[in-house]
Structure 1
Amino acid sequence: MKLKKTDYIVILLVGVLLLIVVLPVKEEKKTCSDSQKKAKAKSVSESTYDDEEYEKLLEKKLEGILERMDGVGEVSVMITLSDDGTRIVDKDTKETSESIEKTTVIYDDEDASVPYVTSTDKPTVSGVLVVAQGGGNPQINNDISNAVSALFDVPMHKIKIAKMISREE
């Protein structure tokens, strides 16, 4: 079976066509994944709060919930954080028979190189002070302590409930 000159031309054209179809697709996938990584990293960094904002947000939410509890009355809350949360960065791992090498994945963001953050953990609540109108009642104190402990996974000895003084005008 001998190939003619036209058969070689047809095979060559099919090969060139395949190259044209395959090459742009690989480049588009790479571009998409890079842009997706940048978008995800930006959304993670933009969604993080600074410590004070996060404390205030938690305090307001807790005040709103506790004031709805029976017998608690007006509430003022103070929350302390033990850390500023953790950011887990993506790492490339290269393993050989002799060693394991890990390098942080970095992308260029306008002016600087930034590590690619895969996830962010919120700061840990270390203590809670609740000043409530109903804070003099042992049953209400117990209910408040249980609610705070359940919401923030704070041990009972790190939660203080106090009775609010009445403001007479």
Structure 2
Amino acid sequence: MAVAAMPVSSKQQKKNTAGEQSEDMQKSVLEEKLEAFLENTEGVGKVQVILMTDEKKDRQSFYNSETIQVTGVLISAEGGGNPVVVQNIQEAVMALFQVDAHRIRIMKMKCGKSLLNR
């Protein structure tokens, strides 16, 4: 079996890098907005959010539209030990991102500990 390597132009590499940066920026904005919303919800307390995403291409659009699609959510919340708070967080995430319940994980945060440096 022979494999031919095709060189990638620097223009294409720049396009890929710009696309990745745009996707990372969109993802960061969504994470920050969800964190801010949840922290203002009763019982949740401090939170950290990690979104798992996939690129989605809109083939029905005339324009070349690429957006990210949330495929999973990991949340660490101070109120994550309360089943009512966990259910409220899960329902909000399901409604917001159209993600199935089995793709959402909510954990109790150590008292005031932040694992991610933002």
> TM-score by structure 2 length?
0.71
> Max radius of gyration: which structure?
1
Aligned residues: percent identity?
Answer: 38
Q: Is the 8 A contact 1:87 1:119 kept in 2?
A: yes
Point out the more displaced range, 61-70 or 121-130: 121-130
Equivalent positions of 1:53-132 (< 5 A) are 53-81=25-53, 83-88=54-59, 118=63, 120-132=65-77
Matches of 1:73 and 1:145, distance apart in 2: 15
Matches of 2:86 and 2:26, distance apart in 1: 25
Question: Which of the two has greater helix per residue?
Answer: 1
Q: Is the 8 A contact 1:89 1:119 kept in 2?
A: no
Task: Give the superposition deviation at 1:87.
Answer: 4.7
Structure 1's consecutive aligned runs of 4 or more residues displaced over 6 angstroms after TM superposition are: none
5+ long unaligned stretches in structure 2: 1-20, 114-118
Task: Give the superposition deviation at 1:122.
Answer: 1.9
5+ long unaligned stretches in structure 1: 1-48, 91-116
Matches of 2:78 and 2:88, distance apart in 1: 14
Q: How many residues align?
A: 95
> TM-score by structure 1 length?
0.51
